[in-house]
Structure 1
Amino acid sequence: MKLNEKKKNTGYFAGIILFSINIVTSVILMISFISIDILPCKYLVPVIMILLLLTGLVFFTQVSGKGTNVGKLISIFMILAFIFITASLFKIHNMFLAISGPGAKIDLVSVVVLVEDPAEVIEDTSTYEFGIQKYIDRNNTDKTLKLISDKIGCELKTVTFIDFNSQIEALYKKEAKAILLNEAFRDIINELMPDFNYRTKVLGYQEIETKIEIKPSDKTDNAARSIINVDSFIAYISGIDTYGTVSRTGRSDLNIIAAVNTAAKKILLINTPRDYYVSVPVDGGQMDKLTHAGIYGVDISMEILEQFYDIQIDYYVRINLTSLNDVVDALGGIDVESEYDFETVVDAIDASTGIIITPEYGYNAVEKYSFTKGINHLNGKAAMAFARERYAFAGGDNQRGRNQMLVIKAILNKASSPSVVSGIGAIIDTVSKNFETNMSSGEIYNMIKMQMNDGASWDIMMYNVKGTGDSRTTYSAGNQRLYVMIPDEETVIEAREKIMEVMDNK
């Protein structure tokens, strides 16, 4: 009898402990839902009621004297579930904190010498004369010179050049023993001098971080603006031609304006071709390709597009090539509706480093992809190949722009579908690393709550401005003529009108 009483008491006390843990974990979960503020009221109230009912169930099975072993298993399961949901909520919250708010751009400025130069580290260049740009990227150049001078303990000797051609030629002729190069310009230099990578080596890098300054929106007070309180806004989606961290500066190959009307559930995507010949607000205003503007920062690209379309852009979303690959895979692939049958060949990329695989000197490994007219289910690499191809089309860059918007549309459709729940962990990890936006976490939560409130589908429309090819000098490449696209003013005007129609819900 005493043994049975002892077992009964032990079971009772175990029930008390489980009930106490249930109370603590359920209270923490309720506080998490309320403080993070991710659920609309119509869902938050039922969730709290369910938590209270579950707590009552635990009390009945563990404390009332009617507890059973099955009840204890239910209690343990609930505790683990509460802990998991709470941890997931904070993981989502941390993700939004990581991608949102005031951003920064990171420039990697390298010390470059000829491949046969005996120098092995930056300190070996203390007696060298450095070739630097007189105007282009001068702010980062001056910061790098100071950092290197402080590092090696002496002031560096420099000679200035007005363009990359003359700077690189001076290095080749050993008139300058080293040069400073912002790595964001390397692809431009490779267009001008295809042998540059093979004839030079990098001794080291200096990382320059600069805060991105975006002027406030005039829709609301910037200190307390809330996207849920406005019916429409405009966002700039910038796709940077780099791998690795999204904060790295690089050419902006994807330039899409998204006009969003939250009341009418309409999104208009406007693509501006990367080679558009536009005025860049650097060094007094210079003509350059739109893609080159990304090198100077997402804020510069935004300013160009605002002036070009006579609009105000409220937010930016910045992604890179790694983002597209990883996000599509995290979503479990996307369904893209191709307008043509076509094939493409792309460089094979080392997934861990983002570097083009080169089996032998001067030859890159390639991967081939085929797409059919209609729906194509694509993984990350295939989506990236689909979005980057232009030579397979008579429309060239114009069609590439449409394909990029088709990929963005497919991502938006997949991200808003219930099927993404099963892969939410991988999606959170991917988005945390590969996205950057000036939208606050509170504004993102408000968008989520708004979508959960009505659950309505979005009407996603697309428009592509056009232009004609030409050869012109550009600010970033100096006197060297490059392919550019002269804007078709009629399509630009039409794009502006379409943006206004969506914003005004006409």
Structure 2
Amino acid sequence: MENEQKKKRYYRRTIDLMFLFVLLIVYIYAFYKAFNFSMLPDKYVFMALMVAAVIYLILFVLALQRYPTWFVVIKRIFIVLLCALLGTVGFFLRKVESTTEKIATVNSTAQTKLFILTRSDSNIDSIEDLQGAVIGYQNGSDVASATYMKNLIENEVSGTQAYDYLDYTSLYSFLTNGQIDALAISEQYYGMTKATQEGFDEKVKTIHTFEKEAEQVENKIDVTEDVFTVYISGIDDAGSPDQMARTDVNLLMIVNPKNNHVDMVSLPRDGYIPNPALNGFNDKLTHTSLHGIQNSITSIEDFVGIPIDYYARISFTSVAQIVDAVGGIDIDVELSVCSYDESQNRTHDELESHEGQEVVCAQQGENQHLNGAQALVYARHRKTEGYGTEGRERAQRRVIMGVINKLLSLNALTYINNLLEVAPNFIITNMPSDQITSFINHQLSDFKPWTIHSLISDSGINDRQQVASLSTENGPYDVYLFSQEEIHEIMNAYDGAKKLMQLKDFSFDLDNLYENTPAISDDPNLVWSSMSGVVY
């Protein structure tokens, strides 16, 4: 009898030790991910490790003692739940890291994949079959990857023809309608195109995959200490945000990480500024992006007189998915709006015929809670008389601010998983992934509330002028002429953030308020609000 009890105790102890061995493996996996996950401050990881070690030690001691069966069962259930929790944490950390790399057009990973796609019904099944084929390459935001693939293909296959275009959305359309035979596309944009193009897996196939060593980018800006600027460009078209499309949302964010302060500048889409792609002739700001995101950045830098360090571009029709991912937003709604639901991915013909769409309304009032479909309806409306484009821009600013406020709130962790699912499909940025993680790590290390100050361009005037991108025969066109004062205000916000002026150094001259501030551009081709009434 005594021998049987010893065997039972030995058997029970062995089972307990096996449970602890599995838990140890899960510990190693979870904390390996945590220590290699640069977003998490080390102090939090060490604290978690100490707590985990104490728990493991207690469980180990308990495994060596005799306890009633019910206690042993509860202990084992606890170990299973702990394993599930730590395994989920490890998986989640990897998911966050992967999402950051997908959003960033510049990342710090060792390798990236590059794909060659053809139509599913094509007889091109391998890279050797590309001889004489027309291959599409993106020469916009992903030009480095395209150039790399072009050189590899030309070295392996003779007689190919390159078809360069600025965005993958158009190139994918060219591929599916037979205008090109193959498409070279990087891993980041492959996932984005797959998510935004209906029937992707049925229409195309991958015939070859390259691997490319990631280029090491020198980070000249410390985003945890230095003031930096981010240009947020929102396009009002479905599909990948890399496409050539007019920008309806143009926000310039001056970020001061030391003071946890953001100056958010809203630039009117019809702002009248020089377009570098058209020999510097004046054009609408929204049209500068038709020549690529970098052209818009150069336009704004030259006009406003401050550098733009990073950009983030979003497809504004994806706002519904983003708003739903953060659990809705609470914003002021200027007027009641009802329209057909355009929040789901549909073809252009379906949108025009309103096939399968329901009416969605956003009600006027302060601090209204909007879901994704309501936010999209409100952000796109501009037909009410007296509201127009300016009203739509105000609505879009409010929607973006609503999302930003949600991301900066203490509840952000509760919906971060949902946001990770949709963000890679609709957002791209040239901020390196290690810079993004450094910024988040810094905020988690010393979490403080952020303040946001909005600078709205509204002291200029609406006018009619010829624009470089449109025919003079149908002009002049509606534009917004900036005032010199509002440009001074933007420059002062950036200059003040950079200098962190001390109160004892503060002085001004009532006769010349801009004496000690940066000078605005003296380009004689610029047209200011004070020069309205004459078509230039």
- Please indicate the TM-score interval, normalised by the length of the shorter structure: 0.7 to 0.9
Measured in 2, the distance between the counterparts of 1:48 and 1:284 equals 60
Shift of 1:42: 3.2
* Residue of 319, 344, 356 corresponding to 2:337: 344
In the superposition, relative to structure 1, how do residues 154 and 222 fare at CA in structure 2: closer, same or farther (>3 Å)? closer
Aligned to 2:493: 498
Measured in 1, the distance between the counterparts of 2:186 and 2:276 equals 17
* Residue of 429, 432, 440 corresponding to 1:437: 429
Aligned to 2:419: 427
In the superposition, relative to structure 1, how do residues 71 and 358 fare at CA in structure 2: closer, same or farther (>3 Å)? closer
In the superposition, relative to structure 1, how do residues 25 and 183 fare at CA in structure 2: closer, same or farther (>3 Å)? closer
Q: Whose strand fraction is larger, Structure 1's or Structure 2's?
A: 1
Measured in 2, the distance between the counterparts of 1:436 and 1:248 equals 11
Measured in 2, the distance between the counterparts of 1:182 and 1:440 equals 21
Aligned to 2:517: none
Question: Which digits, 9 at most, give the CA deviation of each residue in 1:17-55, with x for residues without a partner?
Answer: 111111111122111111112222332221111121122
Q: Contact (CA 8 Å) 1:240, 1:249: kept in 2 or not?
A: no
* Residue of 63, 69, 78 corresponding to 1:74: 78
Amino acid at match of 1:21: V
Q: Say if 2:91 is the partner of 1:99.
A: no
Shift of 1:391: 4.2
In the superposition, relative to structure 1, how do residues 275 and 320 fare at CA in structure 2: closer, same or farther (>3 Å)? same
Aligned to 1:246: 241
Shift of 1:500: 2.5
- TM (norm. structure 1) is 0.72
Aligned to 2:17: 16
Identical columns (%): 23
Aligned to 1:85: 89
**Secondary structure at 1:418 match in 2:** coil
Measured in 2, the distance between the counterparts of 1:358 and 1:98 equals 29
Q: Say if 2:488 is the partner of 1:487.
A: no
Structure 1 stretch displaced more, 395-404 or 34-43 = 395-404
* Residue of 354, 357, 379 corresponding to 2:350: 357
Structure 1 stretch displaced more, 20-29 or 478-487 = 478-487
* Residue of 328, 348, 362 corresponding to 1:333: 328
Q: Say if 2:22 is the partner of 1:27.
A: no
Shift of 1:489: 2.9
1:307-318 paired onto structure 2 within 5 Å: 307-318=302-313
* Residue of 245, 256, 260 corresponding to 2:255: 260
Q: Say if 2:363 is the partner of 1:371.
A: yes
Structure 1: which 5+ runs fail to align?
104-120, 122-138, 144-152, 156-179, 186-201, 213-220
Measured in 1, the distance between the counterparts of 2:483 and 2:347 equals 36
Amino acid at match of 1:77: L
Q: Contact (CA 8 Å) 1:243, 1:320: kept in 2 or not?
A: yes
Aligned to 2:132: none
**Secondary structure at 1:68 match in 2:** helix
* Residue of 265, 282, 295 corresponding to 1:287: 282
Measured in 1, the distance between the counterparts of 2:268 and 2:491 equals 15
In the superposition, relative to structure 1, how do residues 310 and 275 fare at CA in structure 2: closer, same or farther (>3 Å)? same
- TM (norm. structure 2) is 0.68
**Secondary structure at 1:39 match in 2:** coil
Give the aligned length: 413
Measured in 2, the distance between the counterparts of 1:91 and 1:182 equals 27
Q: Contact (CA 8 Å) 1:324, 1:380: kept in 2 or not?
A: yes
Structure 2: which 5+ runs fail to align?
108-121, 123-142, 148-158, 171-175, 189-215, 502-536
Aligned to 2:470: 477
Shift of 1:390: 3.6
**Secondary structure at 2:336 match in 1:** strand
Aligned to 2:405: 413
Q: Contact (CA 8 Å) 1:244, 1:354: kept in 2 or not?
A: no
Measured in 2, the distance between the counterparts of 1:347 and 1:205 equals 34
Root-mean-square deviation over aligned CA pairs: 3.7
Shift of 1:402: 3.1
Measured in 2, the distance between the counterparts of 1:433 and 1:64 equals 53
Question: Which digits, 9 at most, give the CA deviation of each residue in 1:407-442, with x for residues without a partner?
Answer: 222211111223233322211111222211111222
Shift of 1:395: 6.2
Aligned to 2:55: 54
